[in-house]
Every structure is written in C-alpha cells, then in structure tokens.
C-alpha cells in the first residue's frame, strides 16, 4: 500500500510540474506583457509594474522566472482575474462547488438509472429488452450534450413550463454561501423560506443534471451489463446454481455485489468526463460554475483566468482521480499491485 501511495504521489507531482510549465509558457504565448498575464494586474501603475517585475524576477533567466512563478502558485497566489479584478482563487472557491454539486447529482442520477438497467439487460442477455436497452444507450451516448440541453429547455421549460431553464435557484431566495454546495447551504441557512428554497433548488438542478447524466448513464449501462454477463459465466455462479439457489438469490447475493466492484473504478474515471460535460452544460443552463466562468474568460480574453483556472481545475480533477484510486485499492486488494 505504501508503494502504491508513493507511486501515485510521484505521478501527481510530475504531472503538476508539467502543467505549471504549460501554464507558465502560456503567459508568453498570450498577447501582451507576460507579467500582466501572470498577475492579472491590468490597471497597474508604472511603479506597481516595476514591483511586479521584481516579484516575478523578469530580469533573470527563464528558469528562475519559472521557479518564482512556481513559488507564487505554491503559496496560493494565482493572480487577479483581468475581467473582474478579484482573486482567482477566491472566484474558483465560489464556483467550483457549484460544478461539483452538479456533477455529483448527475453522477447519482446516472448510477441510479444506468447500473440497474445494465444489470437488467445482462440478465435478459440477447433477448429483445436487452437489445432495446443497448440501442437506447447507444443513441444516448451519441447525442451531443449542447443539443440535448437546448432540446430539454425547449420542451420542459418553454413548451411545458415544468422546470426552470437557468441558474441554481430562483433569485428571490437569499441563501448565504457557507459550504458552496447549495443544498447544504440551504439546510444550514435560517431563512424562513428554507423548504421553498430547497424545492426550488431541486427543480433547478433536475434538468441540467439529467442532461449531464445521459452520457455517463449510457456508459454505466454498458459497463454493468458486460460485468454482469462476465460474473454470470463464472464457476461460482454455476456452483451456486448447482446447489439449488433460486435465480433471485443468485443475482442479489452473489452476482450484483461482485459485478459492482468492477464498476466502482469506472465511476471514478467517469467523474473527469462528467466535469467536462458539466462545463458545456453550465453554459446552456447558465449554471454559475467553473465551466461557464472559464468559457466566459475565453471570450473576454481574461488570460490570467484561463491559464491559472485551467491549472487549478486540472489539479482538482487529478486529486479526485487519485482519491478514487485509493478507494478502489481499499476495496479491491488485487488492484494494489498494479
């Protein structure tokens, strides 16, 4: 386990180093002064600029410049957003939880529908219901998310008027941000309209989360189907059958649990994919998350936000991956040796 941990940590360190090199070189590739690109101080006076140049050691060679940038990053100084002139770390701290919240709810929805459907398809292997589930999954996987999002808004928000189309919650509710995860914030708040707010927030998250969930759900269907089919062909299932256990008992006691192990790792791998889909969906549903922020930064040519935002976001996804690896290793001793 120690070697496993060390291996993951060294991988993390080197990847992050490479990413910082990329982010650092971006400041030279973007138009404008590299110091301003790095710090985001667009309104700096001449005296402040001299100070910034000293801070980022621009008079010395490029390696030293890189290390001074690295020390800024390590101390948590990612500069100011050029567009809003507020700290990038501060902006990300507000926006990232919203993206995580959307992704987590979507992941739950995807698991809730995807895995049982996959199992059902495997049990009905090569029968009509299996084929229908598989083809629907294939269609779902192929639909581009931005198109699906617009279609969902058109149908459920505009034509039927069931669900809201934009934002996290109706603006009428004043919910103070404590954890950043809105559902927790609502429960922690002392607003007299707490439960109305909770319902409203649920209605707001439903549509974007379902849109985000479609692609991973179809992946879960296929994964759980394959994994269940494999398990059903193993000898211990055959033995259980021979012992006279009913089909229901076999599935519930043996097959489901064993096939879930294979899926759990993919759930983690799907998380990165999910965040990517969520970023596109955020733009369509005006969800105040990191994806919309990054895409807005691109259109506003906010270089500091682009390079440091990307750095922080990739760091976050990497950490999630490592955590999932650890959970998987804890669950499955066989994985520790790989």
Partner 1 sequence: MVILMMKLKLMKFKPFISSIIISFLLISCSDNKLSLSERSIIYCSEASPETFNPQLITSGTTIDATSNQIYNRLITYQGEDNKIVPALAKSWHVTRDGKMVTFYLRKNIAFHQTSYFTPTRTLNADDILFSFNRILDKSHPFHSISGGNYPFFQGIKFNSLVEYIEKINDYTVRFKLRHSDNSFLANLATDFSVILSAEYAGQLANKNTHHEIDILPIGTGPFKFKEYRVGSLIRYYRHDNYWQNKANIEQLVFDITPSNTSRLTKLLAKECDVISYPVAHEKITERSDLKLDSVTSLNVSYFGFNTNKEPFNNKLVRKAISFAINKQALIETVYHGEAEIAHSILPESSWAHNEKILPQEFNLKKAKQLLDEAGYTDGFTTDIWAVPIQRAYNPNAVTMAKLIQADLKKIGITVNIISYEWNTFLHRLTQGEHQTFLLGWSADHPDPDNFFTPMLSCSATNTSSNRTFWCNDKYDQLLQRALQTSNINLRKKYYTQALEILRNELPLLPIAHSKRFQARNKNVVGPILAAFGGINFYPVSKVNISYDNTIKSNNTKKMSVQ
What does the alpha-carbon distance between residue 316 and residue 272 come to, in Å, rounded to a whole number?
A: 10
Tokens representing 241? 């059958």
Handedness of CA 183, 189, 194, 197 (dihedral sign): negative
Tokens representing 21? 């090199």
- Give the closest residue to 320 by CA, choosing from 276, 284, 289: 276
Contact criterion met (CB below 8 Å) for 324 and 265: yes
Residue 325: Cβ within 10 Å count: 21
Does 63 bind partner 1 (CB under 8 A)? Our answer is no
Contact criterion met (CB below 8 Å) for 163 and 203: yes
The enclosing H or E element of 317 equals helix 303-331
- Which of 72, 167 has the CB closer to partner 1? 167
* Residues 105-134 interacting with partner 1 (rule: CB under 8 A): 108, 112
What does the alpha-carbon distance between residue 106 and residue 276 come to, in Å, rounded to a whole number?
A: 12
- Which of 52, 163 has the CB closer to partner 1? 163
- Which of 24, 173 has the CB closer to partner 1? 173
Site for partner 1 (CB under 8 A): which residue of 2, 46, 47, 158?
158
Site for partner 1 (CB under 8 A): which residue of 113, 146, 193, 316?
193
What are residue 167's phi and psi, to 5 degrees? 85, 175
Contact criterion met (CB below 8 Å) for 39 and 304: yes
Q: Specify the stretch interacting with partner 1 by CB under 8 A; choose among 130-138, 190-198, 220-228, 273-281.
A: 190-198
Q: Specify the stretch interacting with partner 1 by CB under 8 A; choose among 25-33, 136-144, 160-168, 234-242.
A: 160-168
- What is the rounded (10 degree) CA torsion for 320, 324, 327, 329? -130
Site for partner 1 (CB under 8 A): which residue of 3, 63, 171, 242?
171
Site for partner 1 (CB under 8 A): which residue of 11, 206, 240, 272?
206
- Which of 256, 272 has the CB closer to partner 1? 256
Does 260 bind partner 1 (CB under 8 A)? Our answer is yes
Q: Specify the stretch interacting with partner 1 by CB under 8 A; choose among 44-52, 74-82, 153-161, 219-227.
A: 153-161
What are residue 176's phi and psi, to 5 degrees? -75, 135
* Residues 298-327 interacting with partner 1 (rule: CB under 8 A): 300
Site for partner 1 (CB under 8 A): which residue of 200, 282, 302, 325?
200
DSSP 244: T
Q: Report the half-sphere exposure of 288 (CA within 13 A, side-chain side).
A: 14
Site for partner 1 (CB under 8 A): which residue of 44, 203, 245, 269?
203
Does 181 bind partner 1 (CB under 8 A)? Our answer is no
Q: Compute how many residues bind partner 1; rule: CB under 8 A.
A: 34
Does 90 bind partner 1 (CB under 8 A)? Our answer is no
Q: How far is CA 40 from CA 49, 61, 274, 304, 326, in A?
A: 11, 22, 30, 5, 37
Does 261 bind partner 1 (CB under 8 A)? Our answer is yes
Does 170 bind partner 1 (CB under 8 A)? Our answer is yes
Catalog residues that contact partner 1 under the rule CB under 8 A: 84, 108, 112, 153, 157-158, 161, 163-167, 170-174, 193, 195-196, 198-200, 202-203, 206, 257, 260-261, 286, 288, 300, 331-332
């Amino acid at each position: 386990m120690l070697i496993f941990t060390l291996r993951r940590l060294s991988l993390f360190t080197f990847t992050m180093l490479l990413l910082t090199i990329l982010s650092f070189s971006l400041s030279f590739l973007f138009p404008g002064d590299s110091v301003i690109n790095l710090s985001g101080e667009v309104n700096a006076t001449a005296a402040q600029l001299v100070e910034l140049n000293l801070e980022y050691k621009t008079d010395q060679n490029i390696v030293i410049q890189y290390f001074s940038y690295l020390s800024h990053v390590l101390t948590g100084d990612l500069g100011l957003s050029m567009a809003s002139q507020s700290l990038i770390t501060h902006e990300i701290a507000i926006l990232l939880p919203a993206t995580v919240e959307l992704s987590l709810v979507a992941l739950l929805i995807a698991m809730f529908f995807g895995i049982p459907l996959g199992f059902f398809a495997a049990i009905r292997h090569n029968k009509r219901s299996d084929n229908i589930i598989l083809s629907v999954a294939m269609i779902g996987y192929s639909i581009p998310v931005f198109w699906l999002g617009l279609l969902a808004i058109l149908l459920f928000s505009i034509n039927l008027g069931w669900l809201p189309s934009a934002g996290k919650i109706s603006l009428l509710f004043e919910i103070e941000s404590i954890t950043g995860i809105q559902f927790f914030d609502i429960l922690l708040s002392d607003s007299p309209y707490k439960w109305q707010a909770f319902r409203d927030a649920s209605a707001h998250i439903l549509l974007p989360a379902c849109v985000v969930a479609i692609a991973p759900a179809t992946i879960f269907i296929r994964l759980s189907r394959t994994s269940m089919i494999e398990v059903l062909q193993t000898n211990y299932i055959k033995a259980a059958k021979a012992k006279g256990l009913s089909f229901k008992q076999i599935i519930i006691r043996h097959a489901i649990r064993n096939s879930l192990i294979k899926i759990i790792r993919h759930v983690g791998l799907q998380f990165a994919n999910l965040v990517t889909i969520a970023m596109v969906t955020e733009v369509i549903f005006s969800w105040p998350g990191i994806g919309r922020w990054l895409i807005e930064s691109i259109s506003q040519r906010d270089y500091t936000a682009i390079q440091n935002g990307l750095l922080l976001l990739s760091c976050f996804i990497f950490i999630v991956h490592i955590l999932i690896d650890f959970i998987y290793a804890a669950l499955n001793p066989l994985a520790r040796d790989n």
